[in-house]
Structure 1
């Protein structure tokens, strides 16, 4: 995993971070300037500083370009603007510093070359400088941007062979938010003013930053920032309430308070279109949080929305939908349905009726006798608009998937499976599986962008051989569903549905996965064992009869299951699942194929390693130990380099380009830091003095390949995925697809050098001898188990997972 200095540890590790992490705008001199000005609590003094005027001009130019940014990365244009030299002896004013650092932090937040850690650090520094000087408007801007950084993904990191760091799952994050709330009595900004209180929780940083931004914005009269901060805060707290039953009432109350405050600010927005849009979203959040108690302020908002845009179909549709929800909550179902019909009619007149699916779903709640028809109409409407939706909402930067899609997909799967009885069962299960597959594809494309991972021809049930079983776990809000298909039936193969398990729901199962993975990967206790047995009983025991010794299980995971190493699940006899079956993970059938029968005789391998510390704009990466030996394991046998294998130590991007251009490589082994957490478009591997984005790696791999001639296997042995973060946990699955590989083997958490080298040595020996990828990995894992000692622990061998093609 990429070993950056984790931003989630600001409180405990900020001082060493300030000393050791530098941003390489254009060399050490600029890094010293930026770090000194923007590191929270100051930094070492400089001999000379830029003048206030120089900082203001650079800030204005940077902000103007940031405001105009589109799909292109603005780094190359903005970074030089922020490169300033010292000309005066006095430190610049607090206003000039805070505004400059807010621009620098925003660049790091939005750029694919940026760093989550640097963005958080600079924005926190900007806030503290502004707050100390009583500058409310710059403080609110910095705090709002800081909240968006923390919402955009995990910055937790680890290092191979070292202890894991960062957020310890969603449950821990929620607990830490409660602790932070209890620790501060005089306002949300206290957490940002007092760095020592910032503990390891992106969720805590987000809630504190957004609440602080709203408070500071109102003090300065910046109603736009206040309303948007409250909107994001309300939606964030509602999301937490859904995942935390124990604290749901408190989080909904807090969400309602944020929505109410935001509505007051939104009413004062000058721009009519913006006023109508923000009022509509905040009113929806108020209803979600407070129900009928929010009716008076929602009615006021609906009137204001109509007045803001009297001729606009979008505004009229939103106002009618809000009034429909209030009427339904009040028990006036007939009026509610009439208003929803009006909302649907007005929305359908828009060029992009993005809310049509959501409101058809609302109509399903109001008309339960025809729920199935309404839900399926909502799904059809979503499929019509989905290709046209932007990846991110331009107002709040939330993903279109979270705003418009998730509930529609889940509801459509729910009604299809609910109707899977009697003679209709086979058809309904087939339709449900197709919706689930579209759901998985939409999730991946939402995270990575459809242009980065275009769909392929999906794997079909008839392509499965005897002994190969495909499992679709579906985590629904009220139950666990399992669909599966067993191979060997040819054209008769079809998905089957097991009885739904209503004893567990999505939230409870996610907590179970979290307990298992965190206990196992941190290696601090044995609580993974009971959790592992429970997960086996829930997920595997229902299909145990299909899994003969040495069979293959392919899992298309949902939600938290993406971070679960299925190999370590324990049956009733305390046997690991890997001792029964080979295992592979498929992010979606459209991105997976079975692969060939085995590797061919023309196998060409390239192994590249890095054992240097690296400082780049994305952060600071510690020196890795043992990666060179690991790469040699892949490329060398009995002291001799294997024919058609090449080894590159401390590689650069140019080395990869040259090697991949010269030869058709089938297997690429990268023993270096790899980062998949945080924003997906900045997923990268670390080379000597630079990073290589996975999108760049795909271009490098495809530049000299003919159509259909993909990289067969990508091995990433020093990486880590986030636990408790559904989007971040897709990073590893999407990495293979995004890099253009048929399959990948990667670690879910950091593993020591000895364990990694031993497993890889056995894997490559077996793979070169003709074993399939799934066979070679399983036998390598079994060899560690049977060998005893430290490497027999599942925290070593279970970290490695096979994604994609298994043959």
Structure 2
């Protein structure tokens, strides 16, 4: 029942796209199908439900675990005296994630992938408390082999949580112990695996050297957006350039034997034209939670847009609405930008860029949960593709990239923002 209540509109949209004419409402997974999926993918599934019922005195956290052998276990934790939403927010603030307000000086780290970061906090207490709440009750059910994948299916505020950075009592991050993915629901995971299988026959991903049409974008000539300063006045300013993103795109393109679209060549029109046929999409630019001109519409549009070079009749903002109209063929989409995994959290999951790309046909998506620092992100992403080229799965490659980046950028703000959604 917990699974059936998730992402119903999302799964209906995906089902109709992948299987035209199918009655999506009749396609909810049965319990046996969930266990078969875990066995077929050799993956441990962990689904969280935050139960808030007026008749209950206190909220409760339910956790279901389906092992790679198909065995189902259930654990629960009382949330008495605990504000889980606040704890997740405190953990993000302690990591160094700032709020959502725009600033004319671009000091707000949620606005964009930043050129540098000069402050952060100590998130040890919050990340340890969250590990105790979310992981300790099921630790004995998780695989011992760190290369075996675990798929977390969050709910509510847990969508904003960097699972890789959770700390155990011995001071080890969760990513050091396990290979992680996320999915909005088990059914979405099944549908993305189905999409991945159809792409695999044609593209042989992740044998990335065989890709025929990768689209790599980095540091486009930035568009102008509307910002509100501290006095409440609106000003129009161009987004700042991202030299690290440009170098990242050039390095990855060279690695794949192609050329990157940067500066003036990365126009919205050109990128839109290529998105539909690309078998790999990598966008290293600014990600925006809110965009548009409030002086014209009365409010900023949300959630989600990617910054590209403006052109004739194009404002340089690739929005979620535009993405939803596309039919993508890519096996993997990487949004190497800020806040691309965030959006409007509803009972149907997160509505934003991540949902738009998956609904448009991308079975695997790498997104971020906050404004990522430019330099360390470039290192992490380059290492991610290097690991893919060595035969790692996407989740294994992202894990190794995090571990290697951690060696030189130890603070979790530098490496734990990214998550892989969907098929492995």
When the two structures are superposed, what TM-score results if normalisation uses the length of structure 1? 0.40
Match of 2:240 in 1: 623
Match of 2:74 in 1: 497
Provide the rounded CA distance (Å) in 2 between the counterparts of 1:696 and 1:751: 24
Provide the rounded CA distance (Å) in 1 between the counterparts of 2:178 and 2:67: 14
Provide the rounded CA distance (Å) in 1 between the counterparts of 2:416 and 2:17: 29
Provide the rounded CA distance (Å) in 2 between the counterparts of 1:775 and 1:509: 29
> How far 1:521 sits from its partner (Å)?
3.1
Match of 2:171 in 1: 574
> How far 1:654 sits from its partner (Å)?
2.4
Provide the rounded CA distance (Å) in 1 between the counterparts of 2:164 and 2:333: 20
> How far 1:575 sits from its partner (Å)?
0.3
Match of 1:720 in 2: 339
> How far 1:688 sits from its partner (Å)?
1.0
* Superimposed CA distance per residue, residues 385-432 of structure 1 (whole angstroms, 9 cap, x where no aligned partner): xxxxxxxxxxxxxxxxxxxxxxxxxxxxxxxxxxxxxxxxxxxxxxxx
Provide the rounded CA distance (Å) in 2 between the counterparts of 1:751 and 1:623: 14
Contact 1:675 1:684 in 2 (8 A): yes
> How far 1:571 sits from its partner (Å)?
0.7
Match of 1:288 in 2: none
State whether structure 2 residue 6 is matched by structure 1 residue 440. yes
Provide the rounded CA distance (Å) in 2 between the counterparts of 1:724 and 1:502: 28
Alignment RMSD: 3.3
* Superimposed CA distance per residue, residues 268-323 of structure 1 (whole angstroms, 9 cap, x where no aligned partner): xxxxxxxxxxxxxxxxxxxxxxxxxxxxxxxxxxxxxxxxxxxxxxxxxxxxxxxx
Match of 1:518 in 2: 93
Provide the rounded CA distance (Å) in 1 between the counterparts of 2:4 and 2:278: 32
Report 1:394-413 matches (<5 A).
Answer: none
> How far 1:633 sits from its partner (Å)?
2.4
Match of 2:211 in 1: 603
Provide the rounded CA distance (Å) in 1 between the counterparts of 2:188 and 2:249: 28
Give the SS at the match of 1:668.
strand
Match of 1:694 in 2: 320
* Superimposed CA distance per residue, residues 733-767 of structure 1 (whole angstroms, 9 cap, x where no aligned partner): 42432342111112211122210111011101111
Contact 1:743 1:802 in 2 (8 A): yes
* 538 and 741 in structure 1: CA distance in 2 versus 1, 3 angstrom threshold: same
Choose 1 or 2 for highest CA Rg.
Answer: 1
* 613 and 503 in structure 1: CA distance in 2 versus 1, 3 angstrom threshold: closer
Match of 2:376 in 1: 755
Provide the rounded CA distance (Å) in 1 between the counterparts of 2:134 and 2:28: 27
Match of 1:652 in 2: 267
> How far 1:716 sits from its partner (Å)?
0.9
Contact 1:673 1:686 in 2 (8 A): yes
Provide the rounded CA distance (Å) in 2 between the counterparts of 1:677 and 1:496: 40
* 472 and 680 in structure 1: CA distance in 2 versus 1, 3 angstrom threshold: farther
Give the SS at the match of 1:510.
helix
Match of 1:803 in 2: 421
Match of 2:49 in 1: 474
1:461 counterpart (27, 35, 43): 35
Greater helix proportion: 1
Report 1:502-581 matches (<5 A).
Answer: 502-504=78-80, 508-522=83-97, 523-526=119-122, 528-545=123-140, 546-550=142-146, 551-581=148-178
State whether structure 2 residue 352 is matched by structure 1 residue 731. yes
> How far 1:562 sits from its partner (Å)?
0.2
Provide the rounded CA distance (Å) in 2 between the counterparts of 1:723 and 1:519: 18
Contact 2:338 2:368 in 1 (8 A): yes
* 457 and 759 in structure 1: CA distance in 2 versus 1, 3 angstrom threshold: farther
2:286 counterpart (652, 673, 685): 673
Match of 2:232 in 1: none
Greater strand proportion: 2
Q: Which has the higher contact order (CA 8 A, sep 6+)?
A: 2
Provide the rounded CA distance (Å) in 1 between the counterparts of 2:389 and 2:341: 32
* Superimposed CA distance per residue, residues 84-142 of structure 1 (whole angstroms, 9 cap, x where no aligned partner): xxxxxxxxxxxxxxxxxxxxxxxxxxxxxxxxxxxxxxxxxxxxxxxxxxxxxxxxxxx
* 457 and 712 in structure 1: CA distance in 2 versus 1, 3 angstrom threshold: farther
> How far 1:467 sits from its partner (Å)?
5.6
> How far 1:770 sits from its partner (Å)?
1.9
Contact 1:721 1:729 in 2 (8 A): no
* Superimposed CA distance per residue, residues 212-262 of structure 1 (whole angstroms, 9 cap, x where no aligned partner): xxxxxxxxxxxxxxxxxxxxxxxxxxxxxxxxxxxxxxxxxxxxxxxxxxx
Provide the rounded CA distance (Å) in 1 between the counterparts of 2:343 and 2:132: 21
Contact 1:510 1:724 in 2 (8 A): no
* Superimposed CA distance per residue, residues 328-382 of structure 1 (whole angstroms, 9 cap, x where no aligned partner): xxxxxxxxxxxxxxxxxxxxxxxxxxxxxxxxxxxxxxxxxxxxxxxxxxxxxxx
Contact 2:218 2:261 in 1 (8 A): yes
Report 1:196-275 matches (<5 A).
Answer: none
> How far 1:453 sits from its partner (Å)?
10
Contact 1:695 1:738 in 2 (8 A): no
Provide the rounded CA distance (Å) in 2 between the counterparts of 1:518 and 1:452: 38
Provide the rounded CA distance (Å) in 1 between the counterparts of 2:95 and 2:356: 23
Provide the rounded CA distance (Å) in 1 between the counterparts of 2:341 and 2:331: 26
Contact 1:668 1:715 in 2 (8 A): yes
Give the SS at the match of 1:501.
strand
Provide the rounded CA distance (Å) in 2 between the counterparts of 1:486 and 1:449: 26
Match of 1:140 in 2: none
1:614 counterpart (223, 247, 251): 223
Instruction: Structure 1: give runs of 5+ residues left out of the alignment.
Output: 1-434, 703-709
Provide the rounded CA distance (Å) in 1 between the counterparts of 2:290 and 2:145: 36
| Matched pairs, number | 347
Give the SS at the match of 2:352.
helix
* 532 and 671 in structure 1: CA distance in 2 versus 1, 3 angstrom threshold: same
Provide the rounded CA distance (Å) in 1 between the counterparts of 2:382 and 2:49: 36
When the two structures are superposed, what TM-score results if normalisation uses the length of structure 2? 0.72
Give the SS at the match of 1:610.
strand
2:251 counterpart (623, 628, 633): 633
Match of 1:775 in 2: 396
Match of 2:387 in 1: 766
* 799 and 464 in structure 1: CA distance in 2 versus 1, 3 angstrom threshold: same
Provide the rounded CA distance (Å) in 1 between the counterparts of 2:219 and 2:308: 7
> How far 1:530 sits from its partner (Å)?
1.1
Contact 1:563 1:729 in 2 (8 A): no
* 695 and 723 in structure 1: CA distance in 2 versus 1, 3 angstrom threshold: closer
Give the SS at the match of 1:464.
helix
